[in-house]
Amino acid sequence: MPAAPGSDHAEPLSLDFCGLHFASPIVLLSGCVGFGEEYTRVEGFSNRDAGAIVLKGTTLEPRLGNPPHRLCETPMGMLNAIGLQNPGIARVVGEILPTLDFTETRFIANVSGSTVEEYAEVTRRFDDSPIDAIEINISCPNVKEGGVAFGNYPGMSAQVVAACRKVTTKPLITKLSPNQTDIRENARCCIEAGSDALSVMNTVMGMAIDTRTRRPVLGNVQGGLSGPAIKPVALLKVLQVHEVAKPHGVPIIGQGGIRSATDAIEFLIAGATAVGVGTALFYDPLVCRKINAGIAEYLQTQGLHHVGELVGSLRTGADETDLASPG
């Protein structure tokens, strides 16, 4: 089949993302696959089922994370409050990255920090490594500003992006938070500060209570809600950010509750270039293969040649012909 306009690859599911070849539009999300090696132990899983894998959030120094409990299952979702447990940048670059097979898929680092300076230093260390791209997790609290999350204020988000941009030539992907007043303004500021792509969206803050003890279930009290429960919110955020990103040619990784080909297709239609899968992996480690097959089948039934033809193809006019259901 011929490639879509602007694509360097003929395969229907392959795509170009910030100059990187993704064999599939699926991206495995940070925190769900460890440092890329966890799912190699699952029989039948292949890194080639995903276009890219985002590694666990990495900070300058090692972190033990939050006290237990750290996970809580909720109706149609999951709360997590891991607290960025990781071995620190030195060990990740020196010991973990050399064990990854970069011929199978693309690997994206996830950078976290408590100050702008920490973000920049971790990014600088990743720049001098074989990592393919860097995702900036701006949902972390800024200790210098009393714990206010960087991602909730456009100006603070832009400061982090600009600082990271100065120390790397690798593609920068900014992971936007839904817990803010106007995600479009934040997206615009991050693009102007030098972000090459956007990841939409991070988890929604929530909590759960144990009625027997009348205490919070999570040791951190609050945590990030992920899974199918947040999908409608995530879809709208992708659509809103796409309005800002499209004129600049900035691609989006759409994420939030994707567990089927139909879910993934909705995000592509809303404006995502690639789609992130996370929570679904916990109960179906081989879901990526099913999603890829479903997208390919949908393209065929719609007479489309390439997944890129779906991106931003939402129809809003009342007289438009309805698209067939992907099943």
Q: Which residues, 6 or more positions from 78, have their beta carbon under 8 angstroms from its beta carbon?
A: 71, 72, 225, 226, 227, 279, 282
Cβ atoms within 10 A of the Cβ of 193, count? Answer: 20
b/e sequence 50-64, b meaning 16+ C-beta within 10 Å: bbbbbbbbbbbeebe
Token pair listed for 17: 């993302």
Which residues are catalytically annotated?
A: 140
* Those residues with Cβ within 8 angstroms of residue 245's Cβ, 6 or more apart along the chain or in another chain: 187, 191, 198, 251, 252, 271
**For residue 263, what are the contacts with CB-CB under 8 A and spacing of at least 6?**
228, 231, 257, 275
Q: Is 2 helix (H, G, I), strand (E, B) or coil?
A: coil
Query: Taking a C-beta distance cutoff of 8 angstroms, is the pair 68, 93 a contact?
Result: no
